[in-house]
Amino acid sequence: MVVLRLFAAARDAAGTGRDEVPGATVGAVLEAAQDRYGDAFTAILGHCQIWCNGVPCAESDAVGEADEVAVLPPVSGGMT
């Protein structure tokens, strides 16, 4: 199982900020997460950056039990 970290809107849609999800690639982990969390999560995922172990990654990148995949939605707002 890979540790999946979810932030902001992705966390809200999934109802959790951290989970363990099966998958041998980043894409497989994200697919399992979509199955687990449903349509609201899937809709947000299309707008997110995906990082593995603190660096941007591709869905084809292999992952293992020691890896962490993070789903980072775009952030809005700021100081005026």
Enter the tokens of residue 30.
């994200």
Question: How would you write the pLDDT of the chain (80 residues) with one tens digit per residue?
Answer: 999 999 999 999 999 999 999 999 999 999 999 999 999 999 999 999 999 999 999 999 999 999 999 999 987 555 55
The per-residue pLDDT for 36 is 98
Superfamily of domain 2-72: Beta-grasp domain (3.10.20.30)
The per-residue pLDDT for 79 is 55
∠ Cα 41 57 19 (to 5°): 40
The per-residue pLDDT for 75 is 75
- The pTM (predicted TM-score) of the whole model is 0.91
